[in-house]
Amino acid sequence: MNKEQFLQELSAVLSRLPEEERADILRDYEEYFAVGLENGKSDVEIAASLGSPKKIARELLADYHVEAAERDWSFANVWKAVRSVSMLTFVNSILILGAYCVGLVLLVGGWITGVALTAFPLVMLVIHQMVPLWPFAFVMFVMLAMSGLGLLICVLMWAVSNWFKRGFLHYVKFTLAQWKGGESDGQKD
Q: Note the pLDDT tens digit of each residue in 162-177.
A: 888 888 778 777 777 7
pLDDT of residue 157: 95
**Digit-coded pLDDT (tens) for 22-33:** 888 899 889 988
**The Cα angle at residue 38 between residues 33 and 42, in degrees rounded to 5:** 55
Q: How far apart are CA 145 and CA 4, in angstroms?
A: 69
Mean pLDDT of all residues in 23-47: 88
pLDDT of residue 126: 83
124-131 contacts, C-beta under 8 A, 24 or more apart: none
**Digit-coded pLDDT (tens) for 101-143:** 888 899 999 999 999 999 888 888 888 788 887 888 888 888 8
Q: Which residue would you say has higher pLDDT here, 156 or 45? A: 156
Confidence band of 181 (pLDDT split at 50, 70, 90): low
What's the predicted TM-score (pTM) here?
0.56
% of the chain beyond a pLDDT of 90: 16
Q: Which residue would you say has higher pLDDT here, 158 or 171? A: 158
Confidence band of 186 (pLDDT split at 50, 70, 90): very low
Average predicted confidence (pLDDT) for the chain: 83
Read out DSSP for 73-105? --HHHHHHHHHHHHTT-HHHIIIIIHHHHHHHH
pLDDT of residue 92: 67
Q: How far apart are CA 171 and CA 189, in angstroms?
A: 18
